[in-house]
């Protein structure tokens, strides 16, 4: 899945230089459940941004499959984010004016998926996180745990191979934290996802197969977690989950349907409001050098393609 070699990231703000990552080497196998622990400022979010194609390293290579994210074009990275990587943040980052259903559907807009399909898939994703009965609610009408479930559904609705979660339980009380961790664990086990959870909570990290520690930009193995011996389901390509297998094989866009063809609340709001996947660093109050824009990227193979033709 991932192979990082000699990954360093240096931030320079005027005279000040911060070595956020220092020659990190890391291999993550397909379907692995990995926890990354470490103190605040240790480089966890920076590492997740490299894995999530949100930013590029200063040095080194970040292979996702056979693609080097350190060298890929901005357009390629945008496409990868839209289709292959799901990201969940501590701060949920839901669009307040959209319902839960619309927030989840929004993740499919850059893929050029038609409205009927978006509706169906968003409803299925919400059901998979136990929120079928809250689809019509806006974020303000949901509890913190429910908002995080919506954010997880939004990350999963595009059927990514990888789910990256940055402090997904950081804003939650203990009971809700345990629910969210159990949910993520269940999704990992049943859907054959590769799941990387960044956390400073050792209770959360203990659920992983493998634990890593990141301190002052240096990464080291920190031993197995409780799920070390768990064998998850095969990747969703083969499994009969709600995620649809066809899109795993989708590579090049046949034709991108402009969002304007289907004027609807989701597109309208996205056009003038927040990006679908706000930069990871925003949760920490820092701006990224390369903002993440929602742009039409790829059209899936299968049913939608024939719809669009």
| Token digits of residue 65 | 């499959």
In angstroms, give the least distance from the CB of 36 to ligand ADP: 9
Percent of residues in the chain assigned helix, strand, coil, to nearest 5: 35, 20, 45
**Binder among 40, 73, 240, 306 for ligand ADP (CB under 6 A):** 40
Main-chain dihedrals φ then ψ at residue 274, nearest 5 degrees: -75, 160
Residue 300 CB coordination number (10 Å): 25
**Position 38 contacts ligand ADP (CB under 6 A):** yes
Q: Of ligand ADP, Mg ion, none, which one sits near residue 18, judging by CB under 5 to 8 A according to partner kind?
A: ligand ADP
Residue 30 as a binder of ligand ADP (CB under 6 A): the answer is no
Q: Do 290 and 55 touch, CB atoms closer than 8 A?
A: yes
Burial of 301 (0-12, 13-18, 19+ CB in 10 A): middle
Residue 52: count of CB within 10 angstroms of its CB: 27
32 binds, among Mg ion, ligand ADP, none (CB under 5 to 8 A by kind): none
Are 278 and 91 contacting, i.e. CB atoms less than 8 angstroms apart? no
Verify binding: residue 209, Mg ion, rule CB under 5 A: no
User: Would you count residue 45 as binding ligand ADP (CB under 6 A)?
Assistant: yes
Q: Closest approach of Cβ 214 to Mg ion, in Å?
A: 10
Query: Applying CB under 6 A, which of residues 172, 281, 294, 297 lies at the interface with ligand ADP?
Result: 281
Which two tokens mark 22?
């220092």
- Please tell me the distance from the alpha carbon of residue 299 to that of residue 246, in angstroms, as a whole number: 11
**Residue 280 C-beta: closest distance to ligand ADP, Å:** 8
- Number of amino acids touching ligand ADP (CB under 6 A): 15
Residue choice 32, 37, 45, 83 for contact with Mg ion (CB under 5 A): 45
Nearer to ligand ADP, 190 or 284 (CB): 284
Question: Whole-angstrom Cα distance, residue 242 to residue 127?
Answer: 10
Q: Which is nearer to ligand ADP, 98 or 281 (CB)?
A: 281
Residue number, 41 or 275, with CB nearest to ligand ADP? 41
List b or e across 241-278, with b for residues whose CB sees 16 or more CB atoms inside 10 angstroms. Answer: bbbbeebbebeebbeebebeeeeeebbebbeeebbbbb
20 vs 151 by CB, closer to ligand ADP: 20
Binding site for ligand ADP (CB under 6 A): 11, 13, 18, 20, 38, 40-46, 281, 284, 286
């Amino acid at each position: 899945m991932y192979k990082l070699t000699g990954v360093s990231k240096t931030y320079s703000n005027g005279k000040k230089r911060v070595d956020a990552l220092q020659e990190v080497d890391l291999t993550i196998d397909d379907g692995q459940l990995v926890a990354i622990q470490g103190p605040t400022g240790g480089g966890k979010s920076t590492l997740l941004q490299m894995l999530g194609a949100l930013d590029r390293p200063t040095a080194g290579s970040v292979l996702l499959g056979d693609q080097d994210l350190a060298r890929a074009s901005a357009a390629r990275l945008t496409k990868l984010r839209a289709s292959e990587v799901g990201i969940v943040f501590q701060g949920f980052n839901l669009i307040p004016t959209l319902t839960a259903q619309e927030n989840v559907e929004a993740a499919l807009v850059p893929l050029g998926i038609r409205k009927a399909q978006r509706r169906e898939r968003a409803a299925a994703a919400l059901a998979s996180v136990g929120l079928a009965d809250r689809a019509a609610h806006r974020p303000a009408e949901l509890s913190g745990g429910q908002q995080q479930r919506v954010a997880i559904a939004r990350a999963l609705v595009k059927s990514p191979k990888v789910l990256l979660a940055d402090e997904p339980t950081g804003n939650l009380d203990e009971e809700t934290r345990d629910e969210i961790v159990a949910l993520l664990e269940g999704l990992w086990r049943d859907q054959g996802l590769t799941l990387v959870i960044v956390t400073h909570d050792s209770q959360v990290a203990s659920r992983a197969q493998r634990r890593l520690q990141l301190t002052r930009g240096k990464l080291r193995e920190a031993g197995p977690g409780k799920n070390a011996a768990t064998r998850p389901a095969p990747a969703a390509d083969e499994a009969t989950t709600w995620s649809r297998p066809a899109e795993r094989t989708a590579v090049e866009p046949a034709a991108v349907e402009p969002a304007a063809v289907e004027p609807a609340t989701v597109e309208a709001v996205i056009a003038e409001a927040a990006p679908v996947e706000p930069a990871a660093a925003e949760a920490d109050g820092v701006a990224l050098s390369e903002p993440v824009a929602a742009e039409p990227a790829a059209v899936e193979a299968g049913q939608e393609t024939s719809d669009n033709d």
